Amino acid sequence: MDDIKIWDDVAENYEDNSYHGKNNNYPANKHRAKIILRFLSKLKKGKILDAGCGSGYIAREVSKQGWDCTAIDLSRKMLKYARQKAVKEKIKHDIKHCSVLDMNIFENKKFDVIMLNGVLPYIKDESRGYKECYRTLKDNGYLITSHYNLFFDLFTFDKYTIELISQKLINKVIVDKDIFNRYKAKLKKAITAPQQPKSEKTMKSENPLIYKEKLKRYSFNEEKQFYYNFHILPPSFTTSEQNNFRNKLEEKFYNKWQGLIFAKTFISVARKV
Ligand SMILES: C[S@@+](CC[C@H](N)C(=O)[O-])C[C@H]1O[C@@H](n2cnc3c(N)ncnc32)[C@H](O)[C@@H]1O
């Protein structure tokens, strides 16, 4: 079972921090929402599932676009705020307590679109999640997911980079443990301003170049990728001025190759085959 307490604990301020940029936070999720909403606005409206909806920002916005939206989450606190905010904005949609790993409350082939925005990186048994989405999605329906970008870890050159370089590169050629450890220590020393781009929570990254292959194994065909949460400098060098550029970067490069390297996160749009 995934740890839901971490989401209960942040539920109250989740939307302010990640969508409205309060408390000096960069509103990365607002950019994700903007990209997804732009994409959805062009589709014929139907039934959409916001799976792992959090406090429901995107669910409310897609309802405004005319989608018949159902929102589910496992965190009761997140759902409490999702319900409050929907009432406040006079939006009527279904909000249910349900795990993305067991969506038996829904019939087969029910939704035209399923979104998992920032959910899969935290799910241990992701394979069940993909299979449940496949079952509840209509034929040819869209699966929209978002992920941490493995390449960005390289760009940040921090303790995660060290792990990446050590585990995926150096230990493939250096078999002597002593030499390996000495090399790793040198790499660690090379970092002058270590900083954590990710928290210690169990977040998984995906390689955007081969994510398509993973989706294929679950019978989805990836059609597009979009990038958000850009950095003009590695986060270790983040200055307040940098944030002034980030809005512009998000808009200019959200669908360009630069996102593969300079965006911390990406969105994948796939279809059920
Ligand atoms: C990073 S938040 C994303 C919230 C929302 N999708 C958004 O874009 O703002 C991750 C959400 O996934 C939910 N979650 C984690 N595991 C889940 C599961 N197995 N089933 C349903 N929701 C889950 C958490 O409770 C949390 O609300």
Q: What is the pLDDT of residues 29-77, one digit of tens each?
A: 999 999 999 999 999 999 999 999 999 999 999 999 999 999 999 999 9
Q: Is the dihedral of CA 160, 161, 167, 170 positive or negative?
A: negative
C-beta 141 within 6 A of ligand 1: no
For residues 184 and 132, which has the higher predicted lDDT (pLDDT)? Answer: 132
Q: Which helix (H) or strand (E) holds 6?
A: helix 5-18
Among 10, 106, 122, 131, the mutation site with the greatest number of ligand 1 atoms within 8 A of its Cβ is: 122
Residue 164 has pLDDT above 50, yes or no: yes
Of the CA atoms within 13 Å of residue 224, those in its CB half-sphere come to 13
C-beta 262 within 6 A of ligand 1: no
Lowest mean pLDDT across 25-34, 148-157, 192-201: 192-201
C-beta 49 within 6 A of ligand 1: no
Average pLDDT over residues 14-36: 92
Average pLDDT, rounded, for the chain: 89
In terms of Cα–Cα distance, which of 7, 29, 31, 206 is closest to 97? 7
Q: What are the residue boundaries of the structural domains of the chain, listed by start?
A: 5-149+199-272, 159-189
Is the domain spanning 5-149+199-272 CATH 3.40.50.150? The answer is: yes
Average pLDDT over residues 196-206: 64
CA dihedral 233, 236, 240, 245 (to 10 degrees): 20
Q: What is the pLDDT of residues 205-261, one digit of tens each?
A: 899 999 999 999 999 999 999 999 988 777 766 666 667 778 888 999 999 999 998
Share of the chain above pLDDT 90, in %: 67
C-beta 78 within 6 A of ligand 1: yes
